[in-house]
Amino acid sequence: MNVLDLFSIMSTHLIELMGIGLCLALILRFIAFRSGKKNLVYFRTLSRSMEKNLDKPENQPGDLKEIDGWFERMMDTVKTELPSRNLRISDDFKPENGKAGFRSQGKKTLSEFMTTKRDILYNINNQINALRSPFPPNFMELSRRVLRQDPLWTTIVMIIPVDTLQRILGILPGLFIIGGIFGTFIGITAALPMIATIDLSDLDGAAPILNSFVANIAYSMKTSIAGIIYSVILTLLNTIFPITSVRTEITEGLARTFEHIWTRIHKDKMTPGEREIVASVTKLCTLIENNMHEKKSKS
Amino acid sequence: MSIPSELRSCPLFYEMYEKEIKKIASRGLVGFYKPGDFVVRDGETGEEIYVVLEGQLMVRKNTSEGLLDIAPLSKGDVFGEMVLLDEKIRSADIVSIEPSWVLELSYRQIFDVYEKEPRIFGVMLLNLARLLAKRLRSTNKIIVDLKKHLTPEQK
């Protein structure tokens, strides 16, 4: 089979091929959307849990030097409150009731261990240096940096990269239209030479040729119609149920949580510059006060 | 999959790129040990190296005077590494004191790395030599300190 034969088969079954493409796109879209919703629930719980722990009086951050320990303790508490995100890989190795055994059973791979709730929490823990800074970091960028390292965020079913999928879903409506137009041109190109074979003197013999011509033209129109319909379906879904908006909401939510943590860490602490300003102003006030006292005593 | 920071700071994986650590560590299995569980037992044969990912363990020896706690092991610590030097008999008990997650790598899994990635294997053995040298220095220091407290008759 050569390229031309393949091309011929493709053009004959273009509507079916586009249909398969649409079904695949719809399935992946659905999985991505569902995954996004699951992520949304998870990250909302994470944010609420972190903020709830921040509000407890016994969990207030102390000195900046002890921030690492404080943060780690808080994340440990949050970890116990979180649900397991991936239902296939659950963090179910809870101690059995009863006496300690010789050796614990039930082992998992490092990848499974990391893709339970630990991965995102490890990534958040690693950002503590950014939160230690007296100057507010770019919280959105921090949030994106944390999320980018989480395979459950960057992939669908741990295989398909979400960014690539979103880009493909974005261009698919256009591709369907182009496919439809392509089918139209193929059909017309295939049909037109038939006209040349018509013998005008034998109109009865021309009937099958004309029928074939009409069938080809009708097929070419059908591919355009199919392309338009597929494009409209996907465009409507992309508009009404966008995948990006859920992910943006999650990123913004996490950024707000980081901002909340940073504010708590630095609430009563001044930057070195601010301390200098306060010291200088205090000194100035003292000088002015002393000056006024001297003038009063002289007068 | 991002590598836990405990593995990056593990002495066995010093000077390795994250990709290289992942190549080795992804072959292992992570086990959970509740308080009181034995990870290894004194005198048993074993072919695994262990890295503590979470929790705390204790190196313990049964002596004539009772159980002696030798050293605690926490996140990032490695034990059982003697198996790489063909020493298969465990020399102490390792007991979990907190709920702990421990990465286990078998001798065979590590030697497979030698066949496919000799550079990584070489770096790992170099790190093993450094680790053993450090422990030997520490042991020498302990012996010297103990000797200072001995009477001339005991010496």
Tell which residue, A28, A37, A34, A31, has the closest CA to residue A246: A37
Q: What is the pTM of this model?
A: 0.61
Q: Is A284 contained in some domain?
A: no
β-strands A155-156, A160-161: how paired?
A: antiparallel
Binary contact (A149, B2; C-beta < 8 A): yes
* Residue B55: how many other CB atoms lie within 10 Å: 19
User: Could you write out the three-class secondary structure of B27-62?
Assistant: CCEEEEECCCCEEECCCCECCEEEEEEECCEEEEEE
Binary contact (B53, A108; C-beta < 8 A): no
Report pLDDT for A173.
Answer: 93
Report pLDDT for A100.
Answer: 41
Q: Looking at the 3D structure of chain B, how many domains does it have? A: 1
| Measured CA angle at B27 (ends B24, B33), to 5 deg | 110
Digit-coded pLDDT (tens) for B127-151: 888 888 888 888 898 888 888 877 7
Angle of helix B18-25 relative to helix B107-116, nearest 10 degrees, comes to 130
Chain B hits for A114, CB-CB cut-off 8 Å, are: 1-2, 4
Report pLDDT for A152.
Answer: 79
d(CA B1, CA A162): 15
Binary contact (A107, B30; C-beta < 8 A): yes
Cβ neighbours of residue A124 closer than 8 Å, sequence gap 6 or more: A75, A146
Binary contact (A114, B4; C-beta < 8 A): yes
d(CA A219, CA A210): 14
Q: Which domain holds residue A24?
A: 3-90+108-268
Q: Is B98 contained in some domain?
A: yes
Interface residue A30 vs chain B (CB under 8 A):
no
CATH (domain of B48) = 2.60.120.10
Interface residue A151 vs chain B (CB under 8 A):
yes
Which ranges constitute the DSSP H helices of A56-109? 67-81
Q: Is A296 contained in some domain?
A: no
Q: Looking at the 3D structure of chain A, how many domains does it have? A: 1
Chain A hits for B96, CB-CB cut-off 8 Å, are: 100
Q: Is B66 contained in some domain?
A: yes
Q: C-alpha distances in angstroms, A30 versus A155, A165, A168, A235, B99? A: 14, 12, 14, 14, 39
Interface residue A91 vs chain B (CB under 8 A):
no
Positive/negative CA dihedral, B117, B118, B119, B125: positive
Cβ neighbours of residue A204 closer than 8 Å, sequence gap 6 or more: none
Q: Is B15 contained in some domain?
A: yes
Q: Is A188 contained in some domain?
A: yes
Q: Is B132 contained in some domain?
A: yes
Report pLDDT for A93.
Answer: 43
Interface residue B32 vs chain A (CB under 8 A):
yes
- B104 in Cβ contact with B31 (< 8 Å): yes
Q: What is the pLDDT along chain B (155 residues), one digit of tens a residue?
A: 566 767 877 888 888 888 888 888 888 888 889 899 999 998 888 888 899 988 899 999 888 878 888 889 988 888 988 877 777 788 889 999 988 889 998 888 888 888 888 888 888 888 888 888 888 888 898 888 888 877 776 66
Q: Is A114 contained in some domain?
A: yes
Question: Residue B99 burial (CB < 10 Å; 0-12/13-18/19+)?
Answer: middle
The three-class DSSP label of residue B67 is strand
Select from A100, A104, A119 the Cβ nearest to the Cβ of B31.
A104
Report pLDDT for A118.
Answer: 61
User: Could you write out the three-class secondary structure of A277-294?
Assistant: HHHHHHHHHHHHHHHHHH
CB < 8 Å from A in window 44-73 of B: 53
Q: Is B129 contained in some domain?
A: yes
Chain A hits for B41, CB-CB cut-off 8 Å, are: 102
Sort residue A252 into left (φ over 0), alpha (ψ -120 to 50) or beta. Answer: alpha
In B, minimum Cα distance to A101 occurs at B37
Q: C-alpha distances in angstroms, A205 versus A202, A216, B24? A: 5, 18, 76
Q: Is B107 contained in some domain?
A: yes
In B, minimum Cα distance to A152 occurs at B1
Partners of A156 in the β-ladder: A160
In the block, which residue shows the tokens 């695949």?
A24
Report pLDDT for A229.
Answer: 94
Report pLDDT for A97.
Answer: 42
Reported as type and span, the H/E element at residue B101 is strand B100-106
Q: Is B30 contained in some domain?
A: yes
Per-block mean pLDDT, blocks of 10 residues, chain A (299 long) = 66 84 91 85 82 74 72 77 54 43 61 68 77 84 87 81 90 93 83 76 78 81 91 92 88 90 76 80 90 86
Select from A102, A107, A115 the Cβ nearest to the Cβ of B1.
A115
Report pLDDT for A77.
Answer: 79
- B97 in Cβ contact with B58 (< 8 Å): yes
Q: Is A275 contained in some domain?
A: no
Q: Is B92 contained in some domain?
A: yes
Q: Which domain holds residue B34?
A: 5-148
Interface residue A12 vs chain B (CB under 8 A):
no
Q: Is A40 contained in some domain?
A: yes
Distance between first and last Cα of chain A? 113
